[in-house]
Structure 1
Amino acid sequence: MKKWLKYLLVLIWIVILYFGVTYYPALNIVTGYASKNMASGLFLANRDQLSMSDEDNGFFPINLASYQIDENEKSVTASLFGLMNRKAVYKEGLGAILINDSYDSSKDFPKPNRYFTNSSLPFPYGELKQSDTVFPEVDYEKLDSAVKYAFDNGEDDLKQTRAVLVIYKDKILNETYTEGFDKNTLMHGWSMTKSITSTMYGVLQNQGKIDIHSLAGIRDWASDERSKITINNLLQMNSGLSWDEEYFNISDVTKMLYLESDMGSSQIRNELVGKPDSLWNYSSGTTNILSGPLLKRQFKSHQEYLDFWYKDLIDRIGMHSMVIETDLSGSFIGSSYAWATTRDWAKFGLLYLHEGNWNGDQVLDSSWVKYAATPTNTSNGRYGAQFWLNAGGHHPDVPLDMYSCNGFKGQYVFIVPSKQLVVVRLGLVSDPKFDVNTFLSGITGSIN
């Protein structure tokens, strides 16, 4: 009996060791995600803990996390079964920052200056109420039916849409929110942030300060084939750099977002797996190279870098609710972490619908807008310069000129020039569970 127990104990320890080695690193990512998302929801979006736990963090294994919340420090510490504590601390103007052992609470974190303006104009160029307008070419009954399709009925919990906003010729045709959300609620855009990052390069190019077709010029790439990578290759995600974009496993993207303190600089080490301009590969790491070390080179100081995003784009077009969060190094996480109200996300779409012009202010050159919506080599018409495209007919019943900002779990800003439309849909489920083709074709089909 004792010998049998001995073998059993050895077997148990082998199993424990196996699972410890295999899954313990994942705890770091799980608790990192849980603490970071909870802190952003509580202190940036002013959500309550219960709704964040049940909804935003309500999927396996994130829903196993437990939380300690410090209202004075504005921090959230998450753990899993008492293991692997991870803390995120909220900093005004910078959002929730996932910290590590190098964090110094006494250290000053520079924040961007904001450039708020008060306009006496109606939305979208101000915040006054729009005048009632009826367009004879719009089938309002069909439009309302298409919007209603986006939301769950009764006890259903399938589509999980939180907001839909339809804007036609600068006029709001429909604005609908689920319970607990409204026009003042900040929503996490996830990878829609990539389109903001791309636009910063469009602003610089419009100002004559950068040529996107020039070499990226990363010092660590100078002595190998990566030296041939251009800024354009990075913007179009066909640089040939290795990357694994998988959110439900330990992967390049989860390790970057929840383990790295300087997300952009850490991705410079990625090796080539293909020739530049010949291998399209969706990569949050590539975007953070753009939003971090590459963009910082354009400025004399860190403060100028921080201010640029708001002064030259975000506040310039009145997206005053928007906050782009930073990592521990102070770099914007341009791949994933912008928050804004539904209306402010729509303003970004309208900037592109109007070919870079914002009420007379040419923020972007019209050629940039065309470039952003031009298919990348080997993307099969699906991707431009950090925008998703319908050029290849991926959504068969939607106009081919539609392009969009897309984010994790179903965040969308759709731009449809041929219909003079911008449509925003925000929620917790993405295509194909949320059928974009049916939803968007219903809206575009309501305009004759």
Structure 2
Amino acid sequence: MKIFKRILLVLVLALFVIGYLNYPKLNLIAGFASKNMASSIFIGERTAASVAENDNNVPLVKLADVKIAKNSTTGTVFGLMPRKAVYREGLGCVLVNDSYDENKPYLQPNRTKAIDSSFPFETSQPPDSLFDHVNFPKLNAAIAHSFSDAELKKTRTVLVYHKGKIIAERYADGFNKESRILGWSMTKSIIATLYGMLAYEGKIDLDMRAPIASWQKDDRKNITLNHLLRMQSGLAWDENYTTISDVTKMLFLASDMTKVQAEKEAVAKPTEIWNYSSGTSNLLSGILRDRFANRQDYLDFPYKTLIDKIGMHSMLLEADMDGNYIASSYSWATTRDWAKFGILYLNKGNWNGTQLFDENWVNYITTPTKHSDGVYGAHFWLNAGGKFPDVPRDMFSANGFQGQYVFVIPSKDLVVVRTGLSENPNFNVNEFLSEIISALKE
């Protein structure tokens, strides 16, 4: 009996220690589950059951229980650490804290649908009647292969655009052409493009020092916009999603995400290291905000100059609790609208006859950043170092968590969009792209 009591006591103590050590994580777990559920329902128009079974059915996150209200969700873990996410029209969903006033008015971006959203996809001819050099059975087999082994690959949508036409398009059950998909870090490439457009208009110099007042008294004063776009500022940052880190605290605890990276110390001089940082992208969002005379102009700018201008009318940029665009992680769009973003880059900034950024901007974002081993340019990913050996070296892409991709391959006049819940290597990018390319016989 005494032995049994001792064993029980040890077990209780062990559970206490485990609970004590992991209690802070409950905040993040509940926060992720609540935010992901809210955005998936209120923006992605998914069912709560589907999100719980698929998107939130991952280690630790699946421990959370999420309650759904009219315009909000609340997540808890074992009834502890409630985290509420609120939907705001035009700004998406956001985790809120006790200081948030749901009755307080807020600004939202002005949108326009004046641009014909059918370009560049309008056609009455089937693609297999347009191109003799495309082996369509082989192409369709490649697309089918990307959807096979659903438990591992978890592909949701694929679109292939070649020589001005969609030549393949497929959607998993529960998704279609109208389904908005979370791009995660593909949002980083959106914020970079806005800087490229400002540079083209002569309104910004990428070699200018970042206008952060607190940096002007130390070595951080030498950090430029170029350094930030290339993730080579030398600032401390921990991009670890499996624990309590800089990025998880920012995404699930911060009310103003534009400040988090700015408060970090320098651990190296600019260009000495390459360190991928979501905090840097949100810092760039804050710098962008401060260039405008008022908050409304900042909110309107991405849509007026880029998103609605190229007919990406489904896109929605989510904002933090203080109303700043979360440029690191949260933008939603249909697969076709994500493809439009890739097509803009395939055409070197020209959209239906209008030049939105300098042709040389593509050279800039695809020039490998020092110390990145040829995988990173300026808020875009590259194949310059041959990471994917069977894919052309000129391929560049906007990448997002869990395998969201907009691939641009200029040498093949090709844009490929893939979305899902699994990334390389479970979803084999080299195999996926090489199979598609092999169907192009030219």
Scaled by the length of structure 2, what TM-score is found?
0.96
Which of 217, 229, 252 is residue 235 of structure 1 equivalent to?
A: 229
Please list the CA deviations of residues 340-372 of structure 1 after superposition, one character each: whole Å capped at 9, or x if unmatched. 000000000000000001001111111111101
Q: Distance in 2 between matches of 1:216 and 1:232?
A: 9
Give 1:129 deviation, angstroms: 4.4
Q: Distance in 2 between matches of 1:3 and 1:408?
A: 49
Please list the CA deviations of residues 157-194 of structure 1 after superposition, one character each: whole Å capped at 9, or x if unmatched. 11110000000012000000111100000000000000
Amino acid at match of 2:277: S
10 and 369 in structure 1: CA distance in 2 versus 1, 3 angstrom threshold: same
What SS class does the counterpart of residue 375 from structure 1 fall into?
Answer: coil
Q: Distance in 2 between matches of 1:303 and 1:167?
A: 35
Which of 123, 132, 135 is residue 136 of structure 1 equivalent to?
A: 132
Question: 5+ residue gaps in structure 1?
Answer: none
Q: Distance in 2 between matches of 1:272 and 1:427?
A: 36
What SS class does the counterpart of residue 53 from structure 2 fall into?
Answer: helix
Which of 241, 263, 266 is residue 269 of structure 1 equivalent to?
A: 263
Give 1:137 deviation, angstroms: 1.6
* 2:94 aligned partner: 97
Task: Answer yes or no: is the 8 Å Cα contact 1:195–1:386 preserved in 2.
Answer: yes
445 and 8 in structure 1: CA distance in 2 versus 1, 3 angstrom threshold: closer
Which of 396, 399, 402 is residue 389 of structure 2 equivalent to?
A: 396
Task: Answer yes or no: is the 8 Å Cα contact 1:168–1:421 preserved in 2.
Answer: yes
Which of 76, 83, 88 is residue 85 of structure 2 equivalent to?
A: 88
Q: Distance in 2 between matches of 1:143 and 1:76?
A: 42
Amino acid at match of 2:288: L
Identical positions, percent: 52
Task: Answer yes or no: is the 8 Å Cα contact 2:115–2:309 preserved in 1.
Answer: no
1:43 maps to 2:65: no
Question: 5+ residue gaps in structure 2?
Answer: none
Task: Answer yes or no: is the 8 Å Cα contact 1:122–1:129 preserved in 2.
Answer: no
The 10-residue stretch of structure 1 (408-417 or 55-64) with the greater mean CA deviation from structure 2: 55-64
1:146-165 matches, within 5 Å, as 146-153=142-149, 156-165=150-159
* 2:425 aligned partner: 432
Aligned alpha-carbon RMSD (Å): 1.7
Amino acid at match of 1:26: K
186 and 2 in structure 1: CA distance in 2 versus 1, 3 angstrom threshold: same
- Runs (4 or more) in structure 1 with deviation over 4 Å come to 1-5, 7-14, 127-130
* 1:315 aligned partner: 308
1:54-93 matches, within 5 Å, as 54-71=53-70, 74-93=71-90
Q: Distance in 2 between matches of 1:196 and 1:433?
A: 26
Give 1:15 deviation, angstroms: 3.5
What SS class does the counterpart of residue 158 from structure 1 fall into?
Answer: helix
Task: Answer yes or no: is the 8 Å Cα contact 2:153–2:422 preserved in 1.
Answer: yes
Q: Distance in 1 between matches of 2:8 and 2:297?
A: 61
Q: Distance in 1 between matches of 2:320 and 2:156?
A: 27
Please list the CA deviations of residues 301-346 of structure 1 after superposition, one character each: whole Å capped at 9, or x if unmatched. 0110000010000001000000010000100000000000000000
165 and 239 in structure 1: CA distance in 2 versus 1, 3 angstrom threshold: same
What SS class does the counterpart of residue 141 from structure 1 fall into?
Answer: helix
Give 1:86 deviation, angstroms: 0.3
Q: Distance in 2 between matches of 1:239 and 1:138?
A: 44
Scaled by the length of structure 1, what TM-score is found?
0.95
Amino acid at match of 1:99: V
